[in-house]
Amino acid sequence: MNSSEFQQKAFVLLLVVVSLAFIWILLPFYGAVFWGSVLAIIFTPFYRRLLAMMNQRKNLAALTTLLLCLIIVILPFTFMAAALLQEGLMVYQRIRSGELNFGAYFQQIVTALPPWMSSFLENVGLKDASELKDMLSNGALQGSQLIATQALSIGQNTFEFIVSFGIMLYLLFFLLRDGAVLSVRIKHAIPLSLEHKRLLLSKFTTVVRATVKGNVAVAATQGALGGLIFSFLGIQGALLWGFVMAFLSLLPAVGASLIWAPVAIYFLFTGAIWQGLTLTAFGVLVIGLVDNLLRPLLVGKDTQLPDYVVLISTLGGMVLFGLNGFVIGPVIAALFIAAWDLFSATRETNKGQ
Per-residue pLDDT of 259-309, as tens digits, reads 888 888 888 877 778 888 888 888 888 888 877 777 666 665 666 677 777
Query: Above 80 in pLDDT, residue 99?
Result: no
Q: What's the pLDDT at 38?
A: 87
Average the pLDDT over 316-320 and give the result: 84
pLDDT at 107: 63
Torsion angles phi and psi, residue 23, rounded to 5: -60, -40
In total, the chain counts a number of residues equal to 353
CB 329 within 8 A of CB 212: no
- Crossing angle, helix 194-232 and helix 158-189, to 10 degrees? 150
Q: Which of 53-57, 113-117, 254-258, 276-280 has the lowest mean pLDDT?
A: 113-117
Q: What is the mean pLDDT of residues 137-152?
A: 54
Higher pLDDT: 80 or 54? It is 54
Which of 149-153, 254-258, 331-335 shows the lowest mean pLDDT across its residues?
149-153
pLDDT category, 216, cuts 50, 70, 90? confident
The per-residue pLDDT of the chain, averaged, comes to 76
Q: How far apart are CA 157 and CA 25, in angstroms?
A: 20
pLDDT of residue 321: 83
| pLDDT for the residue numbered 165 | 83
Please tell me the predicted confidence (pLDDT) of residue 68. 87
Which secondary structure element, helix H or strand E, spans residue 216, and what is its range? helix 194-232
Q: Specify the range with the lowest mean pLDDT, choosing from 44-48, 200-204, 226-230.
A: 200-204
Question: How far is it, in rounded angstroms, from Cα 85 to Cα 99?
Answer: 19
Q: What is the mean pLDDT of residues 57-73?
A: 86
Instruction: Output 332 or 253, whichever has higher pLDDT.
Output: 332
Q: State the Cα–Cα distance between residues 123 and 113, nearest whole angstrom.
A: 14
Give the whole-angstrom CA distance, residue 102 versus residue 241.
14
Residue 146 has pLDDT above 60, yes or no: no
- Predicted pLDDT at 270: 77
142 pLDDT above the threshold of 60: no
Per-residue pLDDT at 1: 60
Instruction: Place 154 in a pLDDT band, splitting at 50, 70 and 90.
Output: low
**Mean pLDDT, residues 41-55:** 87
Q: What is the pLDDT of residue 240?
A: 77
Q: Is residue 222 scored above 60 in pLDDT?
A: yes
Residues 103 and 134: beta-carbon distance below 8 Å: yes
Q: CA torsion sign, 24 to 25 to 26 to 29?
A: positive
Query: Rounded to the nearest 5 degrees, what angle is found at the Cα of 76, between the Cα atoms of 234 and 78?
Result: 90
124 has pLDDT over 60: no
Q: Which residue has the higher pLDDT, 77 or 42?
A: 42
Q: Report pLDDT for 92.
A: 65
d(CA 251, CA 299): 12
233, 250, 231, 252: which is closest to 242 by C-alpha? 231
Q: Left if phi > 0, otherwise alpha if psi is -120 to 50, otherwise beta: which for 16?
A: alpha
Q: What angle separates helix 194-232 from helix 273-282, to the nearest 10 degrees? A: 160
Q: Where do runs of H (alpha helix) occur along the chain?
A: 3-26, 30-53, 58-69, 75-97, 102-111, 115-123, 130-156, 158-189, 194-232, 238-248, 257-269, 273-282, 288-295, 301-303, 307-321, 325-352
237 pLDDT above the threshold of 80:
no
Structure confidence at residue 103 (pLDDT): 59
Q: What integer pLDDT is reported at residue 55 of this predicted model?
A: 84
Q: What phi-psi label fits residue 2: left (phi over 0), alpha (psi between -120 and 50 degrees) or beta? A: beta
